[in-house]
Structure formats: C-alpha cells, structure tokens
Structure 1
Amino acid sequence: MRRVLVTGASRGIGRAVATVFAENGDRVAVHYGRDADAAERTRARLPGTGHAVIAGDLGDPAAAQQVVETAIHALGGIDVLVNNAAVATSPATRHAVAEVDYAQWQQIWRQMTDVNLLGAVHVTYAVAKHLIDRGAPGSIVNIGSRGAFRGEPEFPAYAASKAALHAFGQSMAVALAPHGIAVSSVAPGFIGTERQEAKLASEAGDAVRAQSPFGRVGTPEEVAAAVRYLASSEAVWASGTVLDLNGASYLRT
C-alpha cells in the first residue's frame, strides 16, 4: 500500500488517476481547488479506506505547501505525487493575441503560470523534501500536454506552462535520482472529460475526433493507466521520460 497525492482530482483525469491507485489498494489524497462537492464524490467512489479530501489554491505558494503537509498528516506520508491540477483551456481562458487587451493577457498568463507550473513546482519541492528526509524512494508524475509540442495559438500560456512543466520534470529526474525518486511526465492530447462533453457533442466534435487516425479522443482512464505504470517500481528506469498519449494525432521528431 502506497500513499498517493493527486492534485486536481475532483473530476476528469484527476478522478481517473485517483481511482486507479485506489483500485490498486493505495490510499489517496484527493486535492481540489474549488469544487468541494465534486472532490467528495471522487472520494466516495474510491474503493478501500483511508482516503482524504484536501483543499488548496496551488497558485498560492503557502497553500501549496499546506496541501502537502495536510496530505502527509492524513495519509501518514506520501510515496507518490501526481501533479494534475491546472487552469484548463476554456472560453474564459482563451487569450489569442489579436483578441485580448494587455490586462487580460497578463492576467491569464499569470493565472496559468501560477497554477500549471509554479503550483506543481512548489508541491514537488515539498513532497521531494518529505521523501528525502524519510530516506524513502518515491515517484512523481506530471500531467503535461500535447500542446507543449504542437503549440496552442489561442492558449499560448497553457502550452508554455506545460512545456515548462515537462522541462522541470526532466530536471527533477536528474536531481532526485540519487535519492531513489523517479520523475516522469505524460503529454495527453484531447481527452474526453466531463468538461469536453459539450464540445464533443457539437458540430466541432467530428473535427476533434479526426485529429487522431483512430477517429476518437482519449479517455481519462487511458491517461490514468499510463500514470499508474510510470509511478510503479517497474518504471523507475523511465524516469525523465515525457510519454505522448495522443493517439498519433501529433508526432514529435
């Protein structure tokens, strides 16, 4: 049994990740930023006992540290961290250069950078220090994005924050390997979460599905399966990797 902190686990990919660890017999801290009811629903669906729900705005460095400290107390320690929390792409966070004023541009860049990158940075630091102080091995998996490689012209801050998260993870893979801590990232393409249901059901849905030669989008469960593998002892030698999960919709060279 391992103790797992999953940030942004109230729904979507985070909920699927929390579920797959709980199904493996692990205890999970379900972190959320705003939606307490959704986070409680996630915990209620998890098999097993000893799970926790933890609130915190990861855009606030003090809150990020407190989330880790609360998870350590609730679970008795942390062995695995999954950095999933993010300010997502949406009509409210769209910031194409030609469409927003300078104040909007700054606000969205700061919001996405503070949560998507720095939130993960600060949580990683606190979990890594906890593992090092315990002299214990561990795993950290970051949820990045295909957008880090192909670009997101309507959401440049999102793409940049995810590219930086990939690079941060690789830096930490080198820094933490001497302590027995493996760090890796996954880069999903379009995933069919609850948040995307309306888009997939609209006229735009066919175009989204056509991005992949499989003719569909990915599922949260497929991302969760990859995260479970990367966090396993069998995947230590994959530390430093960025695993593409986009159904061949974008191929890196």
Structure 2
Amino acid sequence: MSLPRTGRRVLVSGASRGLGRALAHAFATNGDKVAVHYGSRAEEATATLAALPGDGHTLVGGDLSTPDGAAIVASQAAERLGGIDVLVNNAAVNTPHPPATTAYEEWVAAWRQHVDVNLLATAHLSHLAAHRMIEQGTGGRIVNIGSRGAFRGEPDHPAYGATKAAVHALGQSLAVALAPHGIGVASLAPGFFTTERVAHRLSGAEGEAIRTQSPYGRVASAEEVAAAVLWLASPESEWSAGTVLDFNGASYLRT
C-alpha cells in the first residue's frame, strides 16, 4: 500500500489559531481527516475544528513540552483518527529574550521553554508518528515548520533561531533514517507571514520595513505557507525528502 492523496489521517500540532488553523483547513479542504492539537487555547481550537470542511476531524489537547504529554497527544490522535499518515510539527514558542537586557534566570527559562517545545516536542512527536506509520505499512509524511531565522539570526529571540536550526537538522537526519519505510520528512523555513498574533506589527514604520525585506513588497499569508506544507506532505513530494524549503519571498537568500 502507498500513501493516498486524500482521506489521510493528519495530526497538526499547535493548530488552535494562526498558521496551525490555516494548515488544518488546507488538509481538511484536501479531503483529509485532521486532528487539531492545542496546548492551552481550547476555545480557539474548538472554533478551528468547527470551521473545518468535511467530517471525521477531532480535537486533541495536551502539553507537548513533556515526553509524556507528547505521547498522550500522539496516542489520542491515532486512536481517534484510526492511525496517522501525516504529521505537521507546527507547535512552537517565540518569546523575546535579548541577551544584553534579559536577566539570567529569565534567559535560562526562555531557553528551556524553547528547547522543550520547539525541538524536543518535534523530536518526540516525529518518533511516535513514525512508529505508527511503520506499523501501518503505508508510508507517510512528516513536515516540520522551521524558520528563516535559523539562517539569518534572531537577535532578540536567539533560542528561537537556534531551535529552528536544530529542527532543520533533525528533519534531515530523520529523512535519511525513515526513507526505507516510505516516510518522507522535510522542513519548511518561512519568512514573515501574517497571522492575528503579529498583524499589529504590519502597521506603521515597522510594517513597511518588514514588507520591504522582500522584493515583492509584501509578506506571505498563512494560507500560502499552508499550501506549501500541503505539497510537502503529498505523495508526489517523496523526492523532496531531506529538504529545507526556503519560503520567504526572496527576503533572505542563503548560499
């Protein structure tokens, strides 16, 4: 058996709002069944679930910052969907901690939080989902949401940039390890894109500076990012395994 184009069982972490909501909607529109994961925003996640087209979708709550929490989320998603064919590691934290002005205790706490959620939760969910896919014998896809910041630096959010770079490296290691099982692993490295959380930054001088980073003179939409993820999760994307796909409107070109 091989990975189908539609009707897949998809777990999207951090899907209560923003990009996660757009991801859930893109897969549901494609005809897939989606497990909408949330950490603490149950009301927003419920609204995401209610707006999804099609049926068979489910809500899964859980704290991904602990190994046990990740195991519960993966188990519940697999049980309610009947398995897992696609995992999208979207859950992340990104709180400011500029090194020159952040107290040491706050610095340590910020790094711990970023490593636990951005990196370790991605690693744990990937391991759990991969074992499900191997048992099912139908292959699968794992797509990690990385960041342009892994390459260009994040001076006020160094732990975010560092953990996203680690996520990219993790994806490449998993791509090699899991390819013999028909599981394709890839990462997307988006630049700035608009969600309700960051919409306020797009007004005034800051917004103009952000838009001019790209020669297109704009930022991406969450729906554009979700469309790229949908392709990376498709059966046709197998040969992209191991890639880190830049998705930043030519706002940062790495060599």
TM-score bracket relative to the smaller structure: over 0.9
Counterpart residue identity of residue 207, structure 2 = G
Counterpart residue identity of residue 45, structure 2 = A
SS at match of 1:50: coil
How far residue 197 of structure 1 moved from its aligned partner, in angstroms, is 1.0
Tell me if 1:199 matches 2:201: yes
Distance in 2, matches of 1:146 and 1:155, equals: 13
- Residue 149 of structure 2 corresponds to 147
Distance in 1, matches of 2:46 and 2:10, equals: 16
Counterpart residue identity of residue 119, structure 2 = L
SS at match of 1:194: coil
Distance in 2, matches of 1:223 and 1:233, equals: 18
Distance in 2, matches of 1:202 and 1:13, equals: 23
SS at match of 2:188: strand
Distance in 1, matches of 2:197 and 2:97, equals: 19
How far residue 202 of structure 1 moved from its aligned partner, in angstroms, is 3.8
Tell me if 1:121 matches 2:127: no
How far residue 204 of structure 1 moved from its aligned partner, in angstroms, is 1.1
**1:7-46 aligned within 5 A:** 7-46=13-52
Distance in 1, matches of 2:236 and 2:65, equals: 33
Distance in 2, matches of 1:224 and 1:100, equals: 34
Distance in 2, matches of 1:83 and 1:222, equals: 17
RMSD over aligned CA atoms reads: 0.7
How far residue 135 of structure 1 moved from its aligned partner, in angstroms, is 1.9
Distance in 2, matches of 1:131 and 1:25, equals: 19
**1:48-197 aligned within 5 A:** 48-88=54-94, 93-197=95-199
Q: How many residues align?
A: 249
SS at match of 1:195: coil
Identity of aligned residues (%): 61
How far residue 136 of structure 1 moved from its aligned partner, in angstroms, is 2.2
SS at match of 2:151: helix
Deviations, residues 224-243 of structure 1 (Å, cap 9, x unaligned):
11001010010001000010
Tell me if 1:244 matches 2:246: yes
Runs ≥4 residues deviating over 2 A: none
**1:207-218 aligned within 5 A:** 207-218=209-220
Structure 1: 5+ residue stretches without partners = none
Distance in 2, matches of 1:195 and 1:211, equals: 20
- Residue 11 of structure 2 corresponds to 5
How far residue 173 of structure 1 moved from its aligned partner, in angstroms, is 0.1
Distance in 1, matches of 2:48 and 2:98, equals: 34
Distance in 1, matches of 2:198 and 2:102, equals: 23
